[in-house]
Amino acid sequence: MLKLIIPALEKFDEIKNEFIATKEQVLQIEHSLVSISKWESKWLKPFLIKDPPKTSIETIDYIKCMTITQNVPEEVYNNITNENMKEISNYIDSTMTATWFNEYGNKDKTKEIITSEIIYYWMITYNIPFECQKWHLNRLLTLVQVCNKKNEKEKKMSNSEIMTKNTNLNNERRKKLNTNG
């Protein structure tokens, strides 16, 4: 969960010809499968696709979908600063896990368009409890990937892959130790 502080602002409303002051607002948001499902049901397109980029309206709407703070006035979303947007972006991009994967010989398989329904399917397939849908999305996707790795048969490296890997390791060690062999 990310806790944002949306600053108090004073703006001039040209239509009403008056100044409008807003109070500082604390906003709690959660980048989760639930948030993505809400957004996709409204916009009817996959959230995880980066191209074409989301419009500012779609981005603000996703922030609304992530919001877990109750009864947030609409004008709060208009007061989100560039610094707030950077915080949100960093939070969304964070792995939220210490797990990493060694990807050798990963031939880019068919690029499946991932939607919330696909992720729910993975959860069902791997018997991941539905309370995990509220986890940070990257943590949930890491769990799915762990389940996938644990369930697949161990792929043996070919002789050429072993030789390439060993050559690279030897070259790194020579460079690190500053030796010729």
Write out 51-71 in H/E/C secondary structure: CCCCCHHHHHHHHHHHECCCC
pLDDT of residue 156: 81
pLDDT of residue 47: 95
Query: Domain for residue 154, yes or no?
Result: no
The domain containing residue 26 runs over which residues? 2-93
* Beta bridge pairs of residue 10: 21
Query: Domain for residue 110, yes or no?
Result: no
Query: Domain for residue 131, yes or no?
Result: no
Query: Domain for residue 130, yes or no?
Result: no
Note whether 29 and 88 are within 8 A (CB). yes
What is the value of pTM for the model shown? 0.71
Query: Domain for residue 122, yes or no?
Result: no
pLDDT of residue 152: 85
Query: Domain for residue 87, yes or no?
Result: yes
Number of folded domains that form the chain: 1
Query: Domain for residue 38, yes or no?
Result: yes
Query: Domain for residue 169, yes or no?
Result: no
Cα–Cα distances in angstroms (integers) from residue 127 to residues 39, 100, 101, 124, 148, in the given order: 25, 22, 21, 5, 12
pLDDT of residue 107: 54
Low-confidence ranges of the chain (pLDDT < 70): 102-110, 181
Q: Which tokens hold the place of 162?
A: 């072993």
Q: Which tokens hold the place of 5?
A: 């502080």
Note whether 83 and 147 are within 8 A (CB). no
